[in-house]
Amino acid sequence: MGPNWTGHHPRAAWRGLLNDGKVGEHMQTKVNDVVSLERRGNVAVISIDNPPVNALSHPVREGLLASLRYAIADEDARAIVLVCAGRTFVAGADISEFDKPPQPPSLHESLDAIEVSPRPVVAAIHGTALGGGLELALACHYRVAVGSARFGLPEVNLGIIPGAGGTQRLPRLVGVNTALHMIATGAMIGATEALQSGLIDQIVEGDLTEGGVAFARQVSAEPRQHPRVRDRDEKLAEARAEPHLFDDFRASIARKSRGFLAPGVAVTAVEAAVNLPFDAGIARERQLIAELLQSEQSKAQRYFFFAERKSAKIPGLAADTPVVNVSRAAVIGAGTMGGGISMVLANAGIPVTLVEQNAENLERGLGVMRKNWEATAARGGLSQGQVEERLARITPTLNFEDIADADLVIEAVYEQLKLKKDVFAQVDRYAKQGALLATNTSGLDVNQIALATARPERVVGMHFFSPANVMKLLEVVRGDRSSDTAIASAMNMGKKMGKVPVLVGVCEGFVGNRMLAARGKQADRLLLEGALPHQVDRVMFDFGLPMGPYAMADLAAGIELRWRRRQETGEMDFIGDRLAELGRFGQKVGKGYYRYEPNSRAPLPDPEVEEIIREASRREGLQRRDISDQEILERLVYPMINEGARILEDGVAIRPGDIDVIWVYGYGWPTYRGGPMFYADSVGLAQIRDRLVALQAQHGDFFRPAALLERMAREGRRFQEWEQTRSAATVGS
C-alpha cells in the first residue's frame, strides 16, 4: 500500500507555492530545510541538501515524502528525478538515530511511496550512494549516474545488514553473486560495473541533473510499465538453479569474517530474497537486522566507527593550525621500516630521498621495495609502469646533504639512542628550516632525540608498525617541545599516507607496545605455571586476534630482539635465552616457540620447546598445573586494560577510544569487540577491578588496579562515558 497523499491536497499546496510567486519553472522551492522541489518542463526535480553527506535523517525522510506527494499530484510532472546537492548522493542513514526511538516516516515508508509512485522516479547519482542511500536508489524505477559514482552497502562494517530492502532488492537487480559480495563484505563498485551488472541504467556525461531530466523525459514518453525492482525475478531464478552458491560463498569469506556475526546474517538475508516472496523477504530482513542491532558486536562496531573519527580530533589544537606542506620527503635508513615508509610515501605520490650509511644496505633496501611492488603487480594491484613510476620517486643517496630540499624527514635507523641523537644532529645541520622532523623509534625517548637538534619544536615521533607499507596504524608521538604545527603536520601527513594517525605521549612503548608488554609478561608467567605457547595463542586467536603472543614473536623476530635487549639490560629470561642460544629465532629460520615445516607458516608445537618450558618451571620451583582458557584470557587481557587505564591517567593517550583505535589498527583487535577499553566496559569495570584484586592477592602487585580504574569502577562509570578533562597540552608532558 502506498501512502494516502490525496488527503493532503498536495496539488493545491504546490500550486500555492507556484502561485504566490516563489516558484516557477527552473526555480527551487524549499519543501523544508533540507529538501527542495522544482519543475523543469514536464519533469519534477526533488533535491536533497543535507550536508555533509546527505544522510537520511528525519527531516530528509519527511521532506522527501512531502515533495514526492506534491510532485505526484502535479499533472504537469510526467516523471520525477531525485538528486542531491553537495559532494555526494545520499551516503547513508543517520547513524546517530540508530539507538533513538524511530521518528516517522520510516525509511521503509518513504521507499515504498517511491516504488508505488504512478510517475517514474529516476535517481541521479554522483559521489557515493551508500547504505540507505543505495537503498533509496533501489526503490526508484531507474538509476542514472556520473562515471565517477560509487555504490555500496557497507552496513556489515557496523555489524548490521541493510535494513530498508537492500538485501531483497539488490540481488534482484544485479544477481546474487554481486549482491552477496557487496552486502556481506561491504565492497563498493564503480559506475562501469554498476552499468554492466544492471544496477544503473545509464552513465550520464555532462550535467547530472540535466542528464537525469533528459532520461526521465525519455522513459516517461514511452508507453510502458515502469519497472519496480521488487517485481523482478530473472536473476533470482538463475541463483535457484545453483544450489551450492550460498555455501560456496560462505566458505569463501570464512577466513576474513571469522568471529563476525553480520556477514553470515547478510548471506541468510540474501538467501531469503531468493527463496521467499518479496514482502516475506522484507519481513525476514527486518527481523534479522533487529537481532543484529541488539547484539554486542554491532554496538562495538558502531562505537568503533565513531572512536576512529574522534581520534583524528585533537582538543586544544586549532582547526586552522598551519601545517607543513610536504612536496618532498627524506627517509634515513633503508632497512625494514625505512623501506616500508619510503614505499608508503611514494605510493602517496611524494618523492623520497632515501639516505643510507652504506651502499650495500641501500641496494638491499631498494631491492626489497622493488620485490614488494612487483608482488603487488603480480596480484594485479599495480601495472608494471606504475611499479617503475613508484621506484622512480625514490632517490637513493649516501650523502646527508641531500635531505636539504625535504619538507619531512623520517628517521628509521637502528634502535640506539646515541646513534639516533647523532643522526638528528646531522638532520638539524642539513634539513631546511620549517621541515617536520620525525623519528620512527619504537621505544626511545623522543624528547632526548629532539634535544639533539636546535629545533625540538619541529620534532615528533612517527611510530609506524611493521610492515609499514601494510599496517594502518601510525602513533604520532608528541614530545614536550613539539609545536602545534608539528603535531598537526604529522597527523595530516599520516592521513595523506593512508594511515590512521593517533596522537600519543612519550613513555616506554608509547600506547600499543606498552600494553603489549603488560600482556607479554603475563603470557610468559603462564608458561611457567603450566600453560604452553599453543594454548596461550589459541585463547587469543579464539578471542578474535589474528594470532597470539608466541606466533607473533616467531613472525616478528621477537625472540632475537628481546634477547639483544636483555644483553644490554642484564635481565634474565630462561626460556627466551635458551631459545636464542639454540638459534631458534622464529619463522625465518623455521623454528622459534614453534617449529615450521619448510615453506609453511603453520606453527607446530615442538617437544624441544616444551621441555625448555618444563625446565624453567622446575627452576622456579613451580608445580605445573592445568590452566583454564578463561584464566588465560583474564590474565592476558585484564592487565592490558589496567595498563590502558594508567596510560589515560598519565595523559599518554587522549581518550579510551584512541587506545581502541591503536589496538584495532596496530594489532588486529577484532572490531566486534570494540577495542580493549570498550571490551572492559562490556565486561564491567567493577568485575575487572574485583578480578584484578583477587589476582593481586594471589600473584602480587603486578595486578594492582590502576587508580583510575578503581575510581571508575567505584563510581559505576564506563570508559565510553569518558570526558575530556585534561587539556591536550598534558598529553606527553
Ligand X SMILES: NC(=O)c1ccc[n+]([C@@H]2O[C@H](COP(=O)([O-])OP(=O)(O)OC[C@H]3O[C@@H](n4cnc5c(N)ncnc54)[C@H](O)[C@@H]3O)[C@@H](O)[C@H]2O)c1
* Part of the chain binding ligand X (CB under 6 A), chosen from 109-117, 333-341, 594-602, 629-637: 333-341
* Part of the chain binding ligand X (CB under 6 A), chosen from 157-165, 177-185, 368-376, 413-421: 413-421
Hunting for cell 581520534 — which residue is that?
A: 311
d(CA 590, CA 695): 37
Least distance (Å) between residue 557 CB and ligand X: 8
Q: Is 332 in the site for ligand X (CB under 6 A)?
A: yes
Cα distances from 518 to residues 42, 472, 641, in angstroms, run: 70, 23, 9
Q: Judged by CB under 6 A, which of 233, 290, 414, 498 binds ligand X?
A: 414
Least distance (Å) between residue 345 CB and ligand X: 15
Q: What is the 3-state secondary structure (H, E, C) of 612-626?
A: HHHHHHHHHCCCCCC
Q: Is 330 in the site for ligand X (CB under 6 A)?
A: no
d(CA 112, CA 30): 23
Concatenating the DSSP letter of every residue in 401-470 gives GGGGG-SEEEE---S-HHHHHHHHHHHHHHSPTT-EEEE--SSS-HHHHHTTSS-GGGEEEEEE-SSTTT
Sign of CA dihedral 476, 481, 484, 485: negative
Q: Judged by CB under 6 A, which of 347, 466, 730, 733 binds ligand X?
A: 466
Q: Is 88 in the site for ligand X (CB under 6 A)?
A: no
CB 80 within 8 A of CB 256: no
| Of 154 and 338, CB closest to ligand X | 338
CB 469 within 8 A of CB 347: yes
Q: Determine the residue with CB nearest ligand X.
A: 335
Give the contacts of 68 (CB within 8 A, at least 6 positions apart): 5, 46, 80, 110, 113, 114, 117, 121
Q: Is 135 a catalytic residue?
A: yes
Concatenating the DSSP letter of every residue in 350-403 gives --EEEE-SSHHHHHHHHHHHHHHHHHHHHTTSS-HHHHHHHHHTEEEES-GGGG
| Of 10 and 494, CB closest to ligand X | 494
47 strand-pairing partners: 36, 83
Least distance (Å) between residue 410 CB and ligand X: 10
Q: Is 662 in the site for ligand X (CB under 6 A)?
A: no
Q: Is 415 in the site for ligand X (CB under 6 A)?
A: yes
Residue in 38, 62, 115, 155 annotated catalytic: 155
CB 354 within 8 A of CB 365: yes
Q: Is 259 in the site for ligand X (CB under 6 A)?
A: no
Residue in 38, 115, 135, 411 annotated catalytic: 135
Residues 418-457 that bind ligand X (CB under 6 A): 419, 423, 440-442
| Of 552 and 616, CB closest to ligand X | 552
Least distance (Å) between residue 244 CB and ligand X: 43
Q: Is 356 in the site for ligand X (CB under 6 A)?
A: yes
Least distance (Å) between residue 561 CB and ligand X: 8
Size, binding site for ligand X by CB under 6 A: 24
Least distance (Å) between residue 358 CB and ligand X: 6
d(CA 172, CA 169): 5
In the numeric block, which cell numbers belong to residue 51? 550536508
Question: 223 — phi, psi (to 5°)?
Answer: -80, 80
| Of 229 and 332, CB closest to ligand X | 332
| Of 144 and 427, CB closest to ligand X | 427
Q: Is 372 in the site for ligand X (CB under 6 A)?
A: no
Q: Judged by CB under 6 A, which of 146, 160, 355, 728 binds ligand X?
A: 355
Q: Is 155 a catalytic residue?
A: yes
- Burial of 4-13, coded b for 16+ CB within 10 Å and e otherwise, reads ebeeeebbee
For residue 175, the number of C-alpha atoms closer than 13 Å in the C-beta half-sphere is 13
Binding mask 537-576 for ligand X (x = CB under 6 A): -------------------x--------------------
Q: Is 357 in the site for ligand X (CB under 6 A)?
A: yes
Nearest CA-CA partner of 171 in 162, 180, 184, 160: 180
Helices (H), 650-683: 656-667, 676-683
| Of 449 and 518, CB closest to ligand X | 449
Q: Is 335 in the site for ligand X (CB under 6 A)?
A: yes
Q: Is 334 in the site for ligand X (CB under 6 A)?
A: yes
CB 344 within 8 A of CB 493: no
Q: Is 396 in the site for ligand X (CB under 6 A)?
A: no
Q: Is 361 in the site for ligand X (CB under 6 A)?
A: yes
Q: Is 338 in the site for ligand X (CB under 6 A)?
A: yes
Binding site for ligand X (CB under 6 A): 332-338, 355-357, 361, 412-415, 419, 423, 440-442, 464-466, 556
Residues designated catalytic: 135, 155
